[in-house]
Amino acid sequence: MSLTTRLAALAVAAVAAFTSPAARAADPVTISVGYIPILAAAPLFVLTGEGWAKQEGLDVKLTRFVDGPAAIQALAAGQIDVMYAGVAPVVVARSKGVDVSVVANSAVEELVLVARGPLAKLAKDKPAAEAVKELAAQTGRKIKFGTQPAGSVPDTVLRHWLFKVAKLDPAIVEIVPMGIEKTQQALMAGALDAADIREPTITIVRNADPAAAILALGNEMFPGQPGTVVAARGELLRGKADAVQRFVTLHKRAVDVVSKDPKRAAALSNEHLGKGLVEPEVLEAALKSPASKFTADPHAIVAAVKAMQAFQLEIGTAAAPTPVEEAFDFRFYDAAK
């Protein structure tokens, strides 16, 4: 860490240290937080559900979004202050002049490529890429892959696997962008051959259809696959640094709970992810799955984010190169340590 970064982190920590609990309780700071309904947002539900945010003088208002690009648009418009969403939309937004920075990480290697129906059956006996080619030859149609909108992490990761890893001919595949919940519905309805999905959708799909096949795990789709981050508007970082510091510190604490006590984390996440339709036991199983890897450290994903940005530039979903480090504000996480 550079001397400048250390001094900035110490300054943030000092402000937090001299803000008394009594003052925080008397004058709570409202922070509007957007999230997409994925398990990587579980730390948010822990820090609010346990009452930690309230104890720290933070009035956290939650808003649900269908995908990362929708969340970043709301943040750019000032409708939310903080978001839990994929890192790719943040980097793309920075390249377009949006004043937003990553202040913490949440999860990595979340996305897994899952197939159902004929493609899943073929993939049981041969490499996934060969299964796709064979199904296309048998049916004479394009093989449908569900994902989220262009510029999102799922879209980027899927394209990387299709064309860089599996080296498939674009003429035999169709990429179908849609929201997270619609992707799950379409996959279960047989409208898609496969989709890159996160938990808890992976567990839900495999419980409903034991014949579903995993075509590729997260690291196979994109090495070191960066995923969900915590990003904040520049105005909030400048005007309410102490509140941001408290939030990031709580997020780090919540990540520890998610990793060590998945049962508790599942119970607190159920209202926001299950809506009474998904049992806490399913969420707990999802938190224990190989696709659930939590880390709060934003430093850990920088190299992979650089690789992802380079690929986005190659495929045209990023407008211009942006120094990746400029999309991160490490001082809050470093002070939390």
Confidence class for position 277, pLDDT limits 50, 70, 90 = low
**Residue 24 confidence (pLDDT):** 52
Confidence class for position 1, pLDDT limits 50, 70, 90 = low
Report pLDDT digits (tens) over 240-257: 999 999 999 999 999 999
List the alpha helices (DSSP H) in 50-208: 52-55, 68-76, 87-95, 117-123, 128-139, 153-160, 180-189, 201-208
| 162 vs 145: CA distance, rounded Å | 10
Report pLDDT digits (tens) over 308-329: 989 988 998 877 777 888 899 9
Lowest mean pLDDT among 36-45, 60-69, 147-156, 271-280: 271-280
One fold for both 3-108+225-336 and 112-221? yes
DSSP 142: P
**Residue 2 confidence (pLDDT):** 52
Confidence class for position 92, pLDDT limits 50, 70, 90 = confident
What mean pLDDT comes out for the span 181-202?
94
Task: Please state the pTM of the whole predicted model.
Answer: 0.84
Report pLDDT digits (tens) over 138-191: 999 999 999 998 888 899 999 999 999 999 999 999 999 998 889 989 999 999
**Residue 301 confidence (pLDDT):** 96
Name residue 262's amino acid: P
pLDDT at 9 over 70: no
Taking phi over 0 as left and psi of -120 to 50 as alpha, with beta for the rest, 194 belongs to beta
| 242 vs 32: CA distance, rounded Å | 15
| 104 vs 244: CA distance, rounded Å | 11
pLDDT at 10 over 80: no
Confidence class for position 26, pLDDT limits 50, 70, 90 = low
* Parallel/antiparallel/unpaired status of strands 143-147 and 194-197: parallel
Of residues 19 and 275, the one with the higher pLDDT is 275
**Residue 323 confidence (pLDDT):** 84
**Residue 18 confidence (pLDDT):** 41
**Residue 95 confidence (pLDDT):** 80
**Residue 22 confidence (pLDDT):** 44
Domain 112-221: which CATH number of 3.40.50.1970, 3.40.190.10, 3.40.228.10, 3.30.70.1380: 3.40.190.10
| 92 vs 143: CA distance, rounded Å | 28
Percentage above 90 pLDDT, the chain: 73
Which sequence spans correspond to the domains of the chain?
Answer: 3-108+225-336, 112-221
Tell me the β-bridge partners of 63. Answer: 34
**C-beta neighbour count of 326 within 10 angstroms:** 11
Of residues 188 and 25, the one with the higher pLDDT is 188
Class of domain 3-108+225-336: alpha beta
